[in-house]
């Protein structure tokens, strides 16, 4: 499955920002706000179950408002689907020496949330003041900051408030007093185990890229602009597109079957990629890099923005005795990639 991108046109039509970093920017919202809350790192299938519930309620609210407008004089304002997420990740506050390594940066997450159908994303700065809000005051705090708030949506294991004391039961009790709907989504399972960002990170770090893609519900993707390299690949007959791509959660070093395209293009090409430190030719302190060799000719070049989807793991990265041995192995990798792509 691929995300092809999308513009939150409803936000444009209703004249409010598609992404903000504070509540004040949305304090004047007109219409009912249906808000999904969570970190949502990776925007995986489990996250989508929560987010799509908010989107569905917002759209249903919009239909009801349109009917009301047609039957009587009134504003008939539609519902708004929103997401409250956090930046930085809470672990950077609570475990600064060992924070959670994110699957994707906040910019990518925001874009993907819009692609799911969200109208507005609140990327709330997570600091000590926000973390210290007592759990029984959390919803009243949100309602005060966002008067348009109508309902909230969370995962069944959602925890919040000072010392993470609040849970779904706390939200339901607070919501009842504030006349807010509170909905929790059951965890989605794959192969009998719950889908989680933690599980995806572990699969990514061990090179189980097909499992990663199954859990995400789309293909794991690297994005960046092509930069110049040492041109060794060109010298040995396998030119590469080089990306200075630095994710927080590092995939296993190795060779992968990939597909790639110029950002915004509809045309995908098949390639074989190496992610790692190039031990055969680089220094010991080499920064990990992604290099993609196109199995067919490509017109892409320096400074082009590209997207690389990771499809299958071929082999671990390894050090060869010479560039000649490396060349022989790359040729074998290309054959394997073509077979896997069929």
- Structure tokens given for 25: 């920017």
In tens, the pLDDT along 189-200 reads 999 999 999 999
Q: Flag the least confident range among 2-6, 251-255, 266-270.
A: 2-6
- What's the confidence (pLDDT) of residue 3? 45
DSSP string of 290-306, one letter each residue: EEEEESS-----TT-EE
Tell me the CATH number for domain 219-341.
Answer: 2.40.30.30
pLDDT tier, 8 (very low <50, low <70, confident <90, very high otherwise): low
Q: What is the mean pLDDT of the chain?
A: 89
pLDDT in tens, 219-241: 999 999 999 877 777 888 899 99
Q: In angstroms, what CA-CA distances link 196 with 37, 124, 164, 264?
A: 15, 22, 19, 29
Prediction pTM value: 0.90
Residue pair 122/152 in contact (Cβ under 8 Å)? The answer is no
Number of residues in the chain:
342
**Structure confidence at residue 250 (pLDDT):** 96
Average pLDDT over residues 326-339: 96
Cross-strand pairs, 227: 242
Token pair 């790359």: residue: 330
Contact 39, 197 (CB under 8 A): yes
What is residue 116's predicted lDDT score, i.e. its pLDDT?
94
Q: Rounded to 5 degrees, what are φ and ψ at 185?
A: -100, 135
- Looking at domain 9-188, its CATH superfamily turns out to be HUPs (3.40.50.620)
| pLDDT tens-digit map of 290-305 | 999 999 999 999 999 9
Rounded CA-CA distance 185/156 in Å is 6
Using 50, 70 and 90 to split pLDDT, how confident is the model at 323? confident
Q: Which of 51-65, 119-133, 240-254 has the lowest mean pLDDT?
A: 51-65
The structural domains of the chain, with segments of one domain joined by +, span 9-188, 219-341
- What is the β-pairing status of strands 80-87 and 33-37? parallel
What pLDDT shows up at residue 7? 45
1: CB partners within 8 A, 6+ apart: 217, 218, 219
Of residues 34 and 76, more confidence is placed in 34
Contact 337, 262 (CB under 8 A): no
């Amino acid at each position: 499955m691929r995300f092809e991108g999308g513009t939150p046109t409803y936000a444009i039509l209703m004249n409010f920002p598609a992404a903000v970093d504070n509540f004040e920017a949305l304090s004047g919202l007109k219409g009912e706000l249906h808000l999904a809350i969570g970190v949502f790192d990776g925007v995986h299938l489990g996250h989508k179950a929560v987010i799509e519930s908010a989107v569905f309620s917002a759209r249903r609210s919009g239909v009801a408002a349109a009917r009301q407008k047609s039957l009587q004089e009134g504003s008939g304002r539609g519902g708004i689907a929103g997401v409250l997420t956090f930046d930085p990740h809470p672990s950077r506050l609570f475990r600064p020496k060992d924070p959670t390594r994110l699957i994707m940066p906040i910019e990518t997450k925001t874009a993907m949330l819009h692609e799911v159908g969200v109208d507005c994303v609140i990327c709330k700065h997570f600091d000590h003041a926000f973390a210290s809000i007592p759990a029984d005051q959390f919803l009243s705090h949100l309602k005060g900051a966002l008067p348009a708030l109508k309902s909230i949506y969370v995962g069944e294991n959602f925890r919040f408030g000072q010392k993470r004391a609040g849970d779904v039961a706390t939200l339901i009790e607070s919501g009842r007093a504030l006349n807010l709907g509170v909905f929790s989504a059951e965890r989605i399972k794959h192969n009998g185990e719950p889908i989680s960002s933690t599980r995806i990170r572990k699969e990514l770090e061990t090179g189980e890229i097909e499992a990663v893609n199954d859990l995400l519900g789309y293909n794991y993707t690297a994005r960046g602009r092509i930069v110049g390299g040492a041109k060794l690949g060109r010298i040995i007959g396998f030119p590469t597109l080089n990306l200075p791509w630095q994710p927080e959660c590092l995939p296993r070093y190795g060779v992968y079957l990939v597909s790639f395209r110029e950002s915004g293009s509809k045309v995908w090409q098949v390639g074989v990629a190496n992610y790692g430190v190039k031990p055969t030719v680089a220094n010991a302190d080499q920064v990990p890099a992604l290099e993609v060799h196109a199995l067919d000719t490509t017109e892409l070049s320096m400074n082009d923005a590209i997207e690389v989807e990771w499809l299958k793991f071929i082999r671990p990265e390894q050090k060869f005795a010479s560039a000649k041995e490396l060349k022989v192995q790359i040729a074998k990798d290309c054959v394997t990639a073509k077979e896997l792509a069929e």
